[in-house]
Structure 1
Amino acid sequence: MKLTYFDVTKTSHLIEEFFLIDYQKKDVPLEAIIPPLNFSGLAYFYSKGQRISLAKEVTDLHKLSVYGQFSKSYKFNLYKEGIVCGMNFKATSLHKLTNIDASSITNKYKCFHKINQVITSELENIFLKGKDEYHQVFDKLEDYILTLPLTENKNTLIIDELVKKIHLKEGMISVNEILEDLPFGQKTLETNFKKTVGLTPSKYIRIHRFKKLMKEYEGKKIDLKDLIYMYDYYDESHFAKDFKSFTSKSLKDYFKDEFLLIKEIFRNTKYDYLH
Structure 2
Amino acid sequence: MNLTYFDVKETSHLVEEFYHISYTKEKTPLKTTMIPYGVSGLTYIFGKGQKTLNNNVETKLENLVINGQFTKSYDFIVDEPGFSIGVNFKPTTLHKITNADLSTFTNKNSSFKILNEQLSTNLEKIFLTYKEDKNLLFSKLEELFLTLKLTNNKKIEIVDETLEMIKEEEGLLSVNDLLKKVPFSQKTLENNFKKMVGLTPSKYIRIQRFLNLMKKYENNTIDFKDLIYMYNYYDESHFSRDFKSFTSKLPKDYFTEDFSIMKEAFKK
TM-score (ref. length: structure 1) = 0.96
Distance 1:223 1:252 in 2: 15
2: CA distance, partners of 1:236 / 1:128: 47
Q: Once the 2 structures are TM-superposed, how far is the Cα of residue 221 of structure 1 from its aligned partner?
A: 5.3
- The separation in 2 between residues aligned to 1:156 and 1:89, in whole angstroms, is 15
CA distance in 1, matches of 2:13, 2:221: 31
1:119 is aligned to 2:124: no
Aligned pair count reads 268
Could you tell me which amino acid in structure 2 is paired with residue 186 of structure 1? Q
8 Å CA contact 2:162–2:182 kept in 1: the answer is no
Match of 1:66 in 2: 66
Tell me whether 115-124 or 252-261 shows the greater mean CA deviation: 252-261
1:170 matches 2:206: no
- Supply the distance in 2 between the matched residues of 1:88 and 1:107 (Cα, whole angstroms): 15
Q: TM-score, normalised by structure 2?
A: 0.98
SS class of match (2:10) = coil
Which residue number corresponds to residue 160 of structure 1? 160
Q: Is 231-240 or 219-228 further displaced after alignment? A: 219-228
Detail structure 1 runs of 4+ shifted over 4 Å in the superposition. Answer: none
Aligned to 2:183: 183
Deviations 1:88-127 (A, max 9, x none): 0001001001110010100001100111111111111101
Deviation at 1:181, TM superposition (A): 1.4
Q: Which amino acid aligns with 1:188?
A: T
Q: Determine the structure 1 residue equivalent to 2:105.
A: 105
Unaligned runs of 5+ in 1: 270-275
Give the partner amino acid of 1:3. Answer: L
Which residue in the other structure is 1:273 paired with? none
Amino acid at match of 2:254: Y
Report whether the alignment pairs 1:52 with 2:52.
yes
Question: Which 10-residue stretch deviates more, 216-225 or 146-155?
Answer: 216-225
Residue 174 of structure 1 and its aligned partner are, at CA, apart by 0.3
- What is the rounded CA distance, in whole Å, between the counterparts of 2:194 and 2:257 in structure 1? 33
Matching residue of 1:245: 245
- Partner Cα distance (2:259, 2:221) in 1: 16
* Aligned partner of residue 13 in structure 2, secondary structure: coil
2:226 aligned partner? 226
- From the superposition, tell whether residues 140 and 9 of structure 1 become closer, same or farther in structure 2 (CA, over 3 Å): same
> 1:260 Cα shift?
2.1
- Deviation at residue 230 of structure 1 after TM alignment: 1.1
Other-structure match for 1:85: 85
User: Alpha-carbon deviation of 1:182?
Assistant: 2.0
2:68 partner letter: G
**CA shift at 1:261, angstroms?**
2.3
Output the CA distance in 2 between the equivalents of 1:218 and 1:192: 33
Name the SS of the counterpart of 1:48 in structure 2. Answer: coil
Separation of aligned partners in 1, 2:172 and 2:93: 23
| Corresponding residue of 1:236 | 236
**Partner of 1:207 in structure 2?**
207
Structure 1 residue 222: Cα displacement: 2.3
Relative distance call for 1:184 and 1:221 in structure 2 (3 A) is closer
Residue in structure 1 matched with residue 96 of structure 2 by the alignment: 96
Distance of aligned partners of 1:221 and 1:28 in 2 relative to their CA distance in 1, 3 Å threshold: farther
Gaps of 5+ in 2: none
CA–CA distance in 2 between the matches of 1:260 and 1:59?
20
Letter in 1 for 2:177: E
Deviates more, 1:252-261 or 1:116-125: 252-261
1:263 offset after TM fit, Å? Answer: 1.1
Where does residue 17 of structure 1 map in the other structure? 17
